[in-house]
């Protein structure tokens, strides 16, 4: 009888312990939330290294993706005026290209690894424009329409 009482007490103690200490988080699935509100979500890999960010940056929504050494590889965001743009970076984290809207017109920018120089192709008032700059950022060439006529500037 004493053995039966001890077993019952042990069983009851185990039940009370489970009620007061639920299973580890890894044994349970997280609750599904209808709405989650936050300013920034940071995505990390299995070692805790940041691989992505979704949040408010300079007051605008932004999605940033990072490589395995923490350098940015791509960003999709809104400019301060609310116009969308996509930025692409090389493995060293240097900006190499952008695509977006400027005054509601498409714009494509291509940059060398050094960061300055390159080219911009865009539409302005529906007319195509191409601008080329040197490594100092100085305008070296342009091709556009002026009053509906082609114009080449060097």
Whether 107 and 142 share a structural domain:
yes
User: Are the C-beta atoms of residues 133 and 140 closer than 8 Å to each other?
Assistant: yes
Is the pLDDT score of 25 beyond 80? no
Whether 73 and 49 share a structural domain:
yes
Whether 129 and 154 share a structural domain:
yes
- The residue from 20, 46, 78 where one domain ends is 78
> In the prediction, which pLDDT does 88 show?
96
Whether 102 and 65 share a structural domain:
no
Query: What average pLDDT does range 44-50 have in this prediction?
Result: 92
Domain total in the chain = 2
Whether 70 and 101 share a structural domain:
no
pLDDT band at 89 (very low <50, low <70, confident <90, very high): very high
Backbone angles phi, psi at 65, to 5 degrees: -120, 140
Is the pLDDT score of 83 beyond 90? yes
**Is residue 111 situated within a structural domain?**
yes
* Domain containing residue 137: 94-154
Whether 74 and 124 share a structural domain:
no
Whole-model pTM over 0.75: no
The whole-angstrom separation of Cα 67 and Cα 74 is 9
**Is residue 46 situated within a structural domain?**
yes
């Amino acid at each position: 009888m004493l053995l039966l009482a001890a077993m019952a007490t042990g069983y009851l103690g185990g039940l009370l312990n489970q009620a007061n200490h639920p299973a580890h988080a890894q044994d349970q699935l997280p609750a599904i939330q209808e709405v989650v509100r936050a300013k920034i979500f940071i995505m990390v890999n299995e070692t805790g290294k940041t691989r992505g960010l979704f949040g408010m940056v300079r007051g605008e929504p932004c999605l940033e993706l990072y490589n395995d050494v923490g350098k940015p590889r791509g960003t999709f965001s809104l400019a301060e005026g609310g116009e969308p743009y996509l930025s692409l970076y090389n493995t060293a984290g240097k900006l190499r290209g952008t695509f977006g809207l400027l005054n509601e017109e498409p714009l494509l920018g291509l940059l060398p690894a050094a960061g300055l120089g390159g080219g911009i192709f865009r539409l302005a008032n529906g007319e195509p424009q191409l601008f080329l700059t040197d490594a100092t950022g100085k305008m070296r060439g342009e091709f556009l329409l002026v009053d509906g006529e082609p114009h080449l500037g060097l």
